[in-house]
């Protein structure tokens, strides 16, 4: 099990990244967990469709569409697409994968690929959407205290590598001092995350960061943090853990 401050995945080579992305996009896949797992959780799945229901919040997705509802009313939607090639040889694809759902917070990985220019472009980014706010991104500092986040991030090895000023004292200063060069974009540091698993009074959070420039296109860096579960959210997080809708449960086996 990765320890706090560890890097889960980093610096994948460009050929490997491209082959991985092409393999994912060229196959007919869904984000559904194995059927044996689905039978013991609050979500159901088939080869091409999956659904999660947690209290008043529900999400359904297929190979091409994701829709979420709050209290039975439409709240947000995402669509996959495959376009081209056109007469100029341009084509593009976009896909998504559900990573976790806790209460109204839905974490999704978005991947894309396009070609027809000087070189192919491809990458992955992660966003946690708040279903109650029409799918607007929710930041970690809206859930956890900035002091807790600052200490956890400052201890991470990737953060330490790209932190230009080690004397920072606040979360805001830390964000401003990060520069990932071409390898890592820190622009979504606080909104690019998913709940991974529960360990005692802590919840594991996986922050997923895309590349910083096209030279490192496709690079995806994942940070692992353990954060104390806020008392007012413990029942919500534990309900998701029991339902099997954390990232560790939804990840392909």
Strand ranges for the chain from DSSP E: 7-9, 43-45, 49-54, 57-62, 65-70, 73-79, 81-83, 91-102, 105-115, 121-130, 136-137, 193-199, 202-209, 221-228
Q: What pLDDT digit, counting tens, does each position of 14-51 carry?
A: 444 444 443 333 332 333 222 222 222 344 444 345 89
Is the pLDDT higher at 142 or at 23? Answer: 142
Evaluate if residue 160 carries a pLDDT over 70. yes
Q: Is the pLDDT of residue 164 over 90?
A: yes
At 73, the pLDDT band (50, 70, 90 cuts) reads very high
* Averaged confidence pLDDT in the chain: 82
pTM above 0.85, yes or no: no
Stretch among 66-70, 85-89, 233-237 having the lowest mean pLDDT: 85-89
């Amino acid at each position: 099990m990765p320890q706090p401050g560890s890097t889960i995945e980093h610096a994948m080579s460009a050929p490997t990244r491209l082959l991985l992305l092409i393999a994912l996009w060229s196959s007919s896949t869904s984000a559904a967990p194995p059927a044996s797992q689905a039978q013991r959780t609050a979500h159901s799945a088939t080869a091409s469709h999956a659904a999660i229901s947690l209290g008043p919040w529900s999400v359904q997705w297929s190979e091409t569409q994701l829709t979420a509802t709050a209290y039975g009313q439409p709240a947000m939607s995402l669509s996959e697409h495959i376009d081209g090639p056109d007469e100029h040889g341009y084509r593009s694809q976009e896909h998504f994968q559900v990573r976790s759902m806790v209460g109204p917070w839905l974490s999704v990985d978005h991947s894309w690929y396009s070609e027809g220019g000087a070189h192919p472009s491809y990458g992955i980014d992660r966003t946690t959407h708040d279903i109650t706010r029409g799918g607007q991104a929710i930041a970690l500092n809206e859930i956890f205290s900035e002091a807790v986040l600052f200490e956890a991030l400052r201890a991470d090895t990737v953060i330490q590598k790209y932190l230009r000023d080690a004397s920072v004292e606040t979360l805001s200063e830390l964000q401003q001092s990060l520069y990932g060069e071409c390898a890592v974009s820190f622009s979504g540091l606080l909104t690019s995350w998913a709940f991974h698993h529960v360990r005692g009074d802590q919840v594991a959070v996986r922050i997923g960061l895309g590349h910083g420039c096209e030279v490192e296109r496709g690079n995806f860096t994942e940070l692992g943090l353990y954060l104390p579960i806020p008392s007012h959210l413990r029942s919500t997080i534990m309900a998701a853990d029991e339902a099997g809708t954390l990232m560790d449960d939804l990840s392909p086996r």
